[in-house]
Structure 1
Amino acid sequence: MQKSVEGRSTIVCKKGQQFIMEGSPVNGLYFLYKGKAKVLKTGIYGKEQILRFVKPGEIMGHRGYGTSKKYAISALAMEDSILCHFSNENLFEMLQSIPALTYDLMLFYGEELDRSETKVKAFAQMTVRERVIDTLLYIHRRFGEKNGFLSLLLSRKEIADYAGTTNEQVIRTLSALKKEKQIYTSGKRIAIGDVNKLKREISEHNYFIDS
């Protein structure tokens, strides 16, 4: 379902529905109003790499505004979601007429680039176990808990796709953490026993993504 008002459209997405396709022409910017989404990119040999998980109040598709004029990422809803879509024309008009918005977007780009570079550097120095722990802490910071478990329900493959490893390595790492009673599981749901203890394990990298 889609309703357009002055270049803006409200889009209702079902769980698993893709609304940005990598390589497709840029047709605007997406603002997540309700729900959860993930942004991913196709890597070598067609393997998916999850770049980030998105919560309400955040934007997607903004990196498409450049020389290529094609989206460099894909995005899909992780649960039933509502998005606000701003067309190219509408966004261009706002950036031209609202200097504060243009300035804030420039700062946003700079901060996001800094976070991306920091992540690449840190992940290159982390072991598989540390990357999986960092992923769990990242989800805990961004989405919090519900009934004692991480509120964002992820498959082992999604954890692997974000941590840059394999399903098998994720399963082994989670199993080890569970035996150590650092995490508890119920089906796909994961609960962290002691957040500070996990933080200390990767503290030497001095790296946490806050958003």
Structure 2
Amino acid sequence: MDCFNCHNNHCIIKRNLNEKLRSFVERKSTIRCKKGQTFIIEGSPVHGLYFVQEGKVKVAKTGFNGKEQIVRFTGHGETIGHRGFGAGLTYQINAVALEDAVLCNFSNDILKEMLMEVPLLTYDLMIFYAEELNRSETKVKKFAQMTVREKVIDVLLYINRKFGRTNDALNLQLSRREISDFAGTTEEQVIRTLSALRKEGLIETPGKHIVIKNVELLSKEISEHNYFIYS
């Protein structure tokens, strides 16, 4: 995919694109991943940043006793692997395609040259890192202040905001284990919470789908926290 013809206008590279960067973006690598394919392995050498051109990706870390902790989900135009860039020799996360995906990879050397050439790109990346730090700090509050029910509701609303719905069904299908790994709770607690929300008529769970029946009521349940954990 030629960056100049890319439709992901909120991608950091795309929104700072100019003729100065043409020679750099022509040197990027394009990677196609099948659903379930891991393209970043935790502990592997850092080889630049990835930008999602198409598809959805799960980013996770390995916690205590090998338990997976999902850090975030990414979609079109978003950046992956940024915590490894310029900060160490190895990636601190795993990244797995949740559906067939197309990724743009810029090596460390290409990125460094680009940042030296275009100050606005450097500034934009700095703002991105600041926002990521803010999200990480806010997530810490979640684990300390939210109940299990509130954590699960927050995850559902996050997916709704980020990926939207089709016929009220969330456009990202997650297993109960993945929801628990993202919410910071257990699979059993997620199952009980979803069952309670279903009995209250707030959601439906046909097959692997989750259908939100009333976004407003779900939002009210976590409104006292005055923030949404994720964006």
Q: TM-score, normalised by structure 2?
A: 0.87
TM-superposed deviation, 1:79: 0.1
Residue of structure 2 equivalent to 1:72: 92
- The structure richer in strand per residue is 1
TM-superposed deviation, 1:84: 0.5
Residue of structure 1 equivalent to 2:127: 107
| 3-state SS of 1:56 partner | coil
1:18 aligns with 2:53: no
TM-superposed deviation, 1:123: 2.7
Following superposition of structure 1 onto structure 2, how do residues 45-194 of structure 1 map, counting pairs within 5 Å?
Answer: 45-194=65-214
Percent sequence identity is: 66
Question: Residues 67 and 111 (structure 1 numbering): CA distance in 2 closer, same or farther, change over 3 Å?
Answer: closer
Counterparts of 1:210 and 1:197, CA distance in 2: 18
Q: Structure 1: give runs of 5+ residues left out of the alignment.
A: none
Counterparts of 1:124 and 1:9, CA distance in 2: 41
The amino acid across from 1:175 in the alignment is S
Residue of structure 2 equivalent to 1:197: 217
Encode CA deviations 1:95-119: one digit per residue, 9 max, x unaligned.
1111110010001100110111011
8 Å CA contact 2:53–2:76 kept in 1: the answer is yes
Counting matched residue pairs gives 207
Q: Structure 2: give runs of 5+ residues left out of the alignment.
A: 1-24
Counterparts of 2:229 and 2:95, CA distance in 1: 20
The amino acid across from 1:191 in the alignment is V
TM-superposed deviation, 1:194: 0.8
Residue of structure 1 equivalent to 2:6: none
Please provide the CA RMSD for this pair.
1.1
Q: Which runs of 4+ in 1 moved over 6 A?
A: none
Residue of structure 1 equivalent to 2:14: none
TM-superposed deviation, 1:70: 1.0
